Amino acid sequence: MISRVYSPSSLPLEKLLDVGCGNGLFAREMINDGIAKSVIGVDASKDMIDLSIQENKENNQRYEYLVKDVYTLLSDDVGGTVPLIISIYLLQYATTVDELFSMLSAIRRVCGKFFIGLVPNPSLIDNDKKMKKYGMDICFHKHIKDDDDSFSIIFDFNEPSSFTVTNFWYSLETYENIFRKAAFRTCK
């Protein structure tokens, strides 16, 4: 996907921003694959930032971290605008369309050129029973349709370690409208 927006001769980028970086997996991949020279990882959870620091300790000079909620992200936090922002599995935590707009508006404030965000699509889960053997039980709160919906993923690793994560899904049209409203354009 990145090769569609950047030519190989323009890589690696000086820096990349990973919003909702979690344990830093995708930040590592961006550096290992030669996409970026350095990555700024942002996550609202100090525990996740600590885990990312631990996971990236061998090459720590190429990483910078911020414990910050995406809604309050400013260009001053990351040294100006950033040419590429990635966000893997963050947008689905917006519980309303207004919250999604606020999240995207904050990302747009620091986005210099491109934003790539991935959200799980519940309609593509062809057989949620397959996931049970991995300790995951996917529960739809109602039948998935073209408007907003939510679904839960229950991670059952034997009590008391089980936990539930609720994700929110919006139609393609809703995502497109909110991205446009937040001043993003489609890259073809």
76 within a domain of the structure (yes/no): yes
User: Is the predicted pLDDT of residue 9 greater than 50, yes or no?
Assistant: yes
63 within a domain of the structure (yes/no): yes
53 within a domain of the structure (yes/no): yes
Region 13-31: what's the mean pLDDT?
93
User: Is the predicted pLDDT of residue 144 greater than 50, yes or no?
Assistant: no
User: Is the predicted pLDDT of residue 83 greater than 70, yes or no?
Assistant: yes
Most confident of 4-18, 153-167, 172-186: 172-186
Label residue 13 exposed, middle or buried (CB < 10 Å: 0-12, 13-18, 19+).
Answer: buried
106 within a domain of the structure (yes/no): yes
Amino acid making up residue 68 = K
135 within a domain of the structure (yes/no): no
Give the pTM: 0.83
The answer to whether residues 22 and 52 touch, using CB atoms and an 8 Å cutoff, is yes
- pLDDT attached to residue 39: 95
Region 67-89: what's the mean pLDDT?
94
Determine the structural domain holding residue 28 and report its residue range.
Answer: 2-120+169-181
What share of residues in the chain are helix, strand, coil (percent, to 5)? 40, 30, 30
Region 44-66: what's the mean pLDDT?
90
Task: Give the CATH number of the domain where residue 111 resides.
Answer: 3.40.50.150
Average pLDDT of the residues of the chain = 84
39 within a domain of the structure (yes/no): yes
94 within a domain of the structure (yes/no): yes
Q: What is the pLDDT of residues 100-115, one digit of tens each?
A: 999 999 999 999 999 9
Amino acid making up residue 75 = S
Q: How many structural domains is the chain composed of?
A: 1
25 within a domain of the structure (yes/no): yes
Q: How far apart are CA 18 and CA 25, in angstroms?
A: 10
User: Is the predicted pLDDT of residue 44 greater than 70, yes or no?
Assistant: yes
